[in-house]
Amino acid sequence: MERHFDEELEVIRRKLVEMGGLAEQLIGRSIQILVSRDNTLSEEVWPAEQIVNQKQIEIDEGCLELLARHQPMATDLRFLVSTLRITGELERIADQAVNITEAALVLIVRPEVKPLIDIPRMATLASGMVKDSLDAFVRKDTRLARAVLTRDDQVDGYKNQIFRELLTYMLSDPKTIERAIELILISRHLERIADHATNVAEDAIYYVEGRDVRHHAGEAAAPSGESRPF
Amino acid sequence: MERHFDEELEVIRRKLVEMGGLAEQLIGRSIQILVSRDNTLSEEVWPAEQIVNQKQIEIDEGCLELLARHQPMATDLRFLVSTLRITGELERIADQAVNITEAALVLIVRPEVKPLIDIPRMATLASGMVKDSLDAFVRKDTRLARAVLTRDDQVDGYKNQIFRELLTYMLSDPKTIERAIELILISRHLERIADHATNVAEDAIYYVEGRDVRHHAGEAAAPSGESRPF
């Protein structure tokens, strides 16, 4: 019985990694459409997002079944509860990739406002945060999780830089306004992806240490190394 | 023992309602700052957001304790798992209200781009969705939950209307660009609040019916009235 439960947890973990891989691919693909200006690349986006959605439902059902049938405690309970949260984050990340794709499709039929430099870099940063936060969770690597949390400042830096630069373009040539706003919104979608990755990293820490580090609750709640009773 | 467990569920339910009320108030307050141009109203926003964050941690801990100690099944399990999701939605709603407040504080020290009409209306719509979705959850009212889901089109309508109108202003007077973008971003924050309310409404349906209606999974998964085993 115990063995069986562990195997079921392993199945969930594997599915979660697959789901994360798909979400990451979607981010890359959405930016690739924008950069390459090749709209045929968008065909796979919607079917891929559907698969992410299905995976969420499948994984969530698996978690709920294990919660109901095995009534796990401590680490296993935290694993299942965290997984239920993380599927939600990954699903939203895929949604954001769809939003980026939609904006990209509007943009690529019109002249470029400017060569894209910071947006692809910001996308690489956000996508790396998604990968590392999920790796941190499945490998129980809290050091990696904490490294993800520190990248928030870089995300903010890109966001502000992109905004300022595009504002200059809009002011000097009002014909660019609509396209520049789409680019600003893309940077905001990337910011949200990074936010979701941060949430996953916080879940990784919670899972391993039993501490809630959201809103820095951990700092006040427990000295390092102390874990919660459940 | 049974009695005690029910009482603990009731405590969680009551705390969740309080947390939702605070999140709603934050939305109202953030828009009030924008409309009244009174920055003194912003003083309460950050402390209130802190309280929302604390409530999330407190409620989540309560849910996890009940999951670990009582190993609930069926409806009670769904209630606790849904509550863990809903606190996340409410916390993000409060975050969005803070984002709106920050944008409002930038805007109110500069001349008005135009009289605000659609943004306050969109805020009332989004705030009503938050209230109704949480009411639907605590009262197990799936009809109300489904009514929330149908309001998505109105949200989209406002978003597009606000974008088009502000674009006109920017094109005719580039000096308005920065302020107009802030207003567009505020409308996007309101859209996200409505998204979160939609997620809460979907959780309400899941809790009552045991069906996952996200991504219309319910349509394919189960004929009406049929519930899942857990």
Q: Residue A15: name the closest of A96, A73, A84, A92 by CA.
A: A84
Question: Which of B:112-151 have CB within 8 Å of A?
Answer: none
pTM: 0.87
The whole-angstrom separation of Cα B17 and Cα B64 is 18
Number of domains in chain A: 1
Q: What is the mean pLDDT of residues A20-46?
A: 96
Q: Do B57 and A167 touch (CB under 8 A)?
A: no
pLDDT at B2: 55
Q: Pick A170's closest partner by Cβ from B78, B177, B188.
A: B177
The whole-angstrom separation of Cα A49 and Cα A30 is 12
pLDDT at A3: 58
pLDDT of residue B221 exceeding 50, the answer is no
The whole-angstrom separation of Cα B52 and Cα B48 is 6
Q: Give yes or no for B10 touching A (CB within 8 A).
A: no
Residues of A in Cβ contact (< 8 Å) with B69? 230
pLDDT range class, residue B225, cuts 50, 70, 90: very low
Q: Do A177 and B188 touch (CB under 8 A)?
A: no
A81 lies in which domain range? 2-221
pLDDT range class, residue A141, cuts 50, 70, 90: very high
A37: DSSP letter? T
Q: Pick A215's closest partner by Cβ from B57, B185, B228.
A: B57
Residue A143: inside a domain: yes
The whole-angstrom separation of Cα A47 and Cα B2 is 46
Q: Give yes or no for A108 touching B (CB within 8 A).
A: no
Task: Work out whether the CA dihedral A201, A202, A205, A210 comes out positive or negative.
Answer: negative
Give the CATH number for residue B143.
1.20.58.220
Q: Give yes or no for A3 touching B (CB within 8 A).
A: no
Q: Give yes or no for A85 touching B (CB within 8 A).
A: yes
Question: Which of A:164-223 have CB within 8 Å of B?
Answer: 167, 170-171, 174, 177-178, 181, 184-185, 188, 212, 214-215, 217, 221
B134-154: pLDDT as tens digits: 999 999 999 999 999 999 999
Shortest CA gap B70–chain A (Å)? 9
Residues of A in Cβ contact (< 8 Å) with B230? 64-65, 67-69
* Chain B residue with minimum CA distance to A77: B68
Q: Residue B107: name the closest of B211, B185, B182 by CA.
A: B182
Question: Long-range contacts: A191-195, Cβ < 8 Å, 24+?
Answer: A191/A126, A191/A155, A191/A156, A191/A159, A192/A92, A192/A96, A193/A27, A193/A93, A193/A96, A193/A97, A193/A126, A193/A127, A193/A129, A193/A130, A194/A125, A194/A126, A194/A129, A194/A151, A194/A152, A194/A155
CB neighbour class for A165 (10 Å; exposed up to 12, middle 13-18, buried from 19): middle
pLDDT range class, residue A220, cuts 50, 70, 90: very low
pLDDT at B228: 39
B23-41: pLDDT as tens digits: 999 999 999 999 999 999 9
pLDDT range class, residue A216, cuts 50, 70, 90: low
Residue B45: inside a domain: yes
pLDDT at A213: 75
Residue B226: inside a domain: no
Q: Give yes or no for A160 touching B (CB within 8 A).
A: no
* Chain B residue with minimum CA distance to A85: B85
pLDDT of residue A92 exceeding 50, the answer is yes
Residues of B in Cβ contact (< 8 Å) with A77? 64, 67-68
Residue B197: inside a domain: yes
Q: Count contacts between A and B (CB, < 8 Å).
A: 96
Q: Do A171 and B188 touch (CB under 8 A)?
A: no
Residue B8: inside a domain: yes
B99-140: pLDDT as tens digits: 999 999 999 999 999 999 999 999 999 999 999 999 999 999
Residue A75: inside a domain: yes
pLDDT range class, residue A72, cuts 50, 70, 90: confident
Q: Give yes or no for A106 touching B (CB within 8 A).
A: no
pLDDT at B112: 95
Residues of A in Cβ contact (< 8 Å) with B174? 170-171, 174, 177
| Six token digits for residue B51 | 């309280």
Q: What is the mean pLDDT of residues A19-29?
A: 97
Q: What is the mean pLDDT of residues A64-93?
A: 92
Contacting residues for A17 by C-beta, under 8 A, at least 6 apart: A134, A138
ipTM of the complex: 0.81
Q: What is the mean pLDDT of residues A24-46?
A: 96
Q: Do A60 and B212 touch (CB under 8 A)?
A: yes
The whole-angstrom separation of Cα A76 and Cα A62 is 13
A144-175: pLDDT as tens digits: 999 999 999 999 999 999 999 999 999 999 99
Residue B228: inside a domain: no
pLDDT at B71: 82
Q: Give yes or no for A230 touching B (CB within 8 A).
A: yes
pLDDT at A217: 57
